[in-house]
Amino acid sequence: MAGERNFPSPSAFLRKPNMASSMRSLFSDHGRYIEAFRRFLANSTEHQCMQNFIEEKLPGIIARIGDTKSEINILSIGGGAGEIDLQILSQVQAHYPGRHINNEVVEPNAEQIAKYKERVATVSDLKNIKFAWHQETSSEYQNRITEKKELQKWNFIHMIQMLYYVKDVPATLKFFHSLLDTMGKILIILVSGTSGWDKLWKKYGSRLPQNDLCLYVSSPDIIQILETLEIKYDCFDLLSTMDISDCFVEGNENGELLLDFLTETCHFSKTAPPDLKAEILEDLQRPGFSVKEREKILFHNHLSFIVVEA
Ligand SMILES: C[S@@+](CC[C@H](N)C(=O)[O-])C[C@H]1O[C@@H](n2cnc3c(N)ncnc32)[C@H](O)[C@@H]1O
């Protein structure tokens, strides 16, 4: 509504303290988090789904971002190991052949940055692209450039599967939107309101380990914030699945890591109270959470692609 600033407060998305036991957040063991994320990528169509979007929809979205610019400035927030970033860059290169691209990455995790740099070193077709990495969170970046008064404008900003880790989502969106150059766009990718994630978080969030590093946000939350901020956007939903069949094989290592990722709990199988574990394992097989297909249980990992305009 015009004039109203009725944001859901960040704490509205935070987990409530759970009474449970020895369960601890997956974020408390960084190595296990990265391994669980790797298993998630290997067992899901997450990156395939993003690749389809990048090939089919992104060319239209970026069609005018570089009009009249001698250099295209791209800012990646939470770029991870760069797999998706490089696909985006290749589309921008194809659309603006020979144009110089300045690609800056804001990523707090040193290992991810190291992997991103390795990847860049092995890809040959990156000429005309200048890379810079900033090992910091989006709010650290925001504070740093605000203090230095270096408010550079960007032609394309992307936030892919990372808004869960931002403390103040409305302030973050407002800030990065203010950095868009004329014709600039922001691409936000996160789980959709129809995903199994949304259902899992709503039903079990309060019984899983408390962790203020991760908010249970899905696309309807972001859309509500954008509407309150009166920022123009478009939203595309795409289906994606995650094969969670191994989660139902007792003692299966892959299944245990996937369950850790689903519940964001370190060693969920071994540390969760038996009733909670049984309920979650049962729900994960229900319609709304997953679908059974050829002996496999495929969790709804549906994604929303939100394109924000300057
Ligand atoms: C789920 S991964 C997604 C990586 C990549 N964008 C992709 O889709 O493959 C989330 C990434 O966000 C980074 N991250 C976590 N908190 C962040 C924050 N506050 N600001 C920026 N990046 C953050 C993590 O280190 C991680 O690399």
Comparison of pLDDT for 254 and 1, the residue scoring more = 254
The answer on pLDDT for 12 being more than 90 is no
Q: Which residue has the tokens 């070193």?
A: 121
The amino acid that residue 308 corresponds to is: V
Separation between Cα atoms, residue 204 and residue 18, nearest integer Å: 10
The residue count of the chain comes to 310
User: Given ligand 1 and candidates 39, 49, 165, which is best to mutate, with the most ligand atoms within 8 Å of its CB?
Assistant: 165
The answer on pLDDT for 127 being more than 60 is yes
Q: Which two tokens stand for residue 32?
A: 């296990």
The phi, psi pair for 297, rounded to 5°, reads -110, 115
Closest by CA position to 20, among listed 204, 212, 202, 207: 207
Model pLDDT, residue 19: 47
What CATH fold (topology level) applies to the domain 10-309? Rossmann fold (3.40.50)
Distance of CA 79 to the CA centre of its chain: 9
User: Given ligand 1 and candidates 41, 115, 162, which is best to mutate, with the most ligand atoms within 8 Å of its CB?
Assistant: 162
Closest by CA position to 191, among listed 238, 130, 247, 124: 238
What stretches of 127-263 show up as alpha helix (H) in DSSP?
Answer: 138-147, 169-178, 196-204, 219-228, 253-263
**80 ligand 1 Cβ < 6 A:** yes
Model pLDDT, residue 125: 87
Domain ranges in the chain? 10-309
pTM, rounded to two decimals? 0.91
Model pLDDT, residue 212: 63
Sign of CA dihedral 61, 168, 302, 227: negative
Three-state DSSP class for 217? coil
What are the residues whose beta carbons fall under 8 Å from the beta carbon of 58, sequence distance 6 or more?
Answer: 88, 91, 187
> For the residues 284-293, what does the mean pLDDT come to?
97
**161 ligand 1 Cβ < 6 A:** yes
**162 ligand 1 Cβ < 6 A:** yes
**138 ligand 1 Cβ < 6 A:** yes
The answer on pLDDT for 13 being more than 70 is no
**137 ligand 1 Cβ < 6 A:** yes
Residue 187: in which H helix or E strand, if any?
A: strand 180-191
